Amino acid sequence: METRVARPKSAGAIIGLSMLFAAVAQGFGRFSYSLIIPSLVRTTIHSVALAGTLGTVNVGSYLLGSTFVTLNSRRISNITLIRVGLFLSASGLLIFAFTNSFITFFFAMVLMGFGGAMIWIQSPGLAASAVSVEKKGWAMGLTGAGIGIAITLEAQFARMTQNLGGLWSWKIILYVEGFIALVSALIALLKLKGEQKVVDLFEVTDSDVKPSHVPPIPEQNFLFGAYMAYGLAQAIFLTFVVTALEHDHNYSAGWSSFIFALVGFISIFGGVLAGRISDSISNRGIVMVGGFICMAFSGVAVVEGAYPLVIVGAITYGLGMSGIPNLVAAYISDFQSGSDFARTFALVTLFFGITQAVGPQLAGVVESSTGSFVVDFLLVSISCVVGVLFSIKLSYRASLSKLS
């Protein structure tokens, strides 16, 4: 499916907008929640389990949004999906900021999750439409880097607001993010219309309807297993690392926010680094093994809690967090292209989403039962060890041939 949209006069401007939209969808709509959990629990909901429930609602709504986009991508234009998603995300952020009840928080998380899916699935295609074929991977990678930039900046902003205390210590973050999201929505409404063709990465044709149409890629089940392990580890770590450092190890709000910012900053580069290494050695699986080992160390580092270990753990986690998704996509693209790739990538994302939906609720319940996050972050490391085992199987596919 192709949609004609107006574009700013340079490819850089389009890629910049794609990065902004990705930042709203994921950096604001999903990952900023991790920064406000400690203050939210202290001032409003008074329960880590309920905080985990809200995280699960966000991810569950994201899965519903992904399904909606997949089913309606041929009937609704890419740009319409982005616009609506931005307005939903902005509404969710502002509702969360201006209210104080669990019910309204629940509704806000639904809006942010659903809207985030509508934005994120289309944003890489918007960036890819601005450049030539040989640069599309680079443009799509920059779109993802927008998420890391958002995490870095919002974590630093959270450090600045902690001295305000009370509700303002977390509400002001959402006010600012909601305003940025609203401005982004207005930009999409006013600027994205007219001429440019947008690449629909999830386009399917009538001949693609039957599941049997797309042959499985080599070791497909092991790839699904690895990405499920990654999903669980990512959901628990990113949702509760700030809270765990403050609760279990008495980190100040400023230090825990710095750790979160460091994860985001390193993640800007992890995907590019992993992609280049795997290209140079022609083996995606072995680089995935390295990524999972990095993330496994991060879980143990948070359990131990010493400043030097946690800092190193933040660096290694940022590398693995952004590297593994790129490697999964690259592995699929080594065997499939076009709509075959899109369908397989959508399927592996669904498996990833299942453990993403389970992780926050599970971690919140475990913490409420045990009184600490030790078991949760050991589970992060165990999940990554499982990911290592699945990735070792993928590493046997060392001779990778790309479809032209």
> Do 49 and 18 belong to one domain?
yes
What pLDDT shows up at residue 194? 42
**Residue 50 corresponds to which tokens in the numbers above?**
């309920």
- Inter-helix orientation angle 374-395/338-370, to 10°: 150
> Do 39 and 160 belong to one domain?
yes
Q: What is the mean pLDDT of the chain?
A: 81
The count of other CB atoms within 10 Å of the CB of residue 111 is 24
**Residue 278 corresponds to which tokens in the numbers above?**
């795997």
What pLDDT shows up at residue 140? 66
| pLDDT score of 199 more than 50 | no
> Do 197 and 101 belong to one domain?
yes
The pTM of the full predicted model, rounded to 2 decimals, is: 0.76
Q: Which of 185, 203, 221 is the last residue of a domain?
A: 203
> Do 245 and 128 belong to one domain?
no
| pLDDT score of 358 more than 50 | yes
Whole-angstrom distance, CA of residue 120 vs CA of residue 143: 9
In the 3-class helix/strand/coil scheme, how is 363-403 assigned residue by residue?
HHHHHHHHCCCHHHHHHHHHHHHHHHHHHHHHHCCCCCCCC
Residue 225 pLDDT level (bands cut at 50, 70, 90):
very high
Q: Which of 203, 238, 259 is the last residue of a domain?
A: 203
> Do 289 and 168 belong to one domain?
no
334 or 320, higher pLDDT: 320
DSSP, collapsed to helix, strand or coil, labels residue 9 as coil
CATH number of 129's domain: 1.20.1250.20
> Do 31 and 165 belong to one domain?
yes
385 or 69, higher pLDDT: 385
Mean pLDDT over residues 195-222, rounded?
54
Lowest mean pLDDT among 144-158, 211-225, 303-317: 211-225
> Do 221 and 109 belong to one domain?
no
What pLDDT shows up at residue 12? 81
Residue 303 — left, alpha, or beta (φ > 0 → left; ψ -120 to 50 → alpha)? alpha
Domain count, the chain: 2
Mean pLDDT over residues 186-198, rounded?
68
pLDDT 10s digits, 252-277: 878 888 898 899 899 888 877 877 77
What pLDDT shows up at residue 138? 65
Q: Which residues contact 368 (CB under 8 A, 6 or more apart)?
A: 47, 48, 49
136 or 222, higher pLDDT: 222
Lowest mean pLDDT among 142-156, 219-233, 389-403: 389-403
395 or 31, higher pLDDT: 31
| pLDDT score of 398 more than 70 | no
Q: Are 334 and 287 in contact (CB under 8 A)?
A: no
Q: What is the DSSP letter of 73?
A: T
Q: Describe the chain by its helix, strand, coil percentages, rounded to 5.
A: 80, 0, 15
Q: Which of 182, 203, 224 is the last residue of a domain?
A: 203
Whole-angstrom distance, CA of residue 47 vs CA of residue 57: 16
> Do 234 and 332 belong to one domain?
yes
32 or 294, higher pLDDT: 294
What pLDDT shows up at residue 356? 84
Whole-angstrom distance, CA of residue 73 vs CA of residue 388: 35
211 or 351, higher pLDDT: 351
Mean pLDDT over residues 309-327, rounded?
90
H or E element, residue 5: strand 2-5
The count of other CB atoms within 10 Å of the CB of residue 140 is 24
DSSP, collapsed to helix, strand or coil, labels residue 2 as strand
In a 13 Å sphere around the CA of 192, the CA atoms on its Cβ side amount to 30
> Do 197 and 249 belong to one domain?
no
Question: What value does the CA radius of gyration of the chain take, rounded to a whole number of Å?
Answer: 20
Which range of residues forms the domain containing residue 335?
Answer: 212-404
Whole-angstrom distance, CA of residue 112 vs CA of residue 274: 29
Whole-angstrom distance, CA of residue 82 vs CA of residue 201: 14
**Residue 360 corresponds to which tokens in the numbers above?**
């926050």
pLDDT 10s digits, 89-119: 999 999 999 999 999 999 999 999 999 988 8
> Do 222 and 345 belong to one domain?
yes
| pLDDT score of 1 more than 50 | no
Q: Which residues contact 295 (CB under 8 A, 6 or more apart)?
A: 230, 233, 237, 316, 317, 320, 321, 324, 380, 381, 384, 387
> Do 50 and 119 belong to one domain?
yes
| pLDDT score of 133 more than 60 | no
Give the chain's length.
Answer: 404
> Do 219 and 192 belong to one domain?
no
The full DSSP string for 171-215 is HHHHHHHHHHHHHHHHHHHHHS-SSEEEE-TT---GGG-SGGGSP
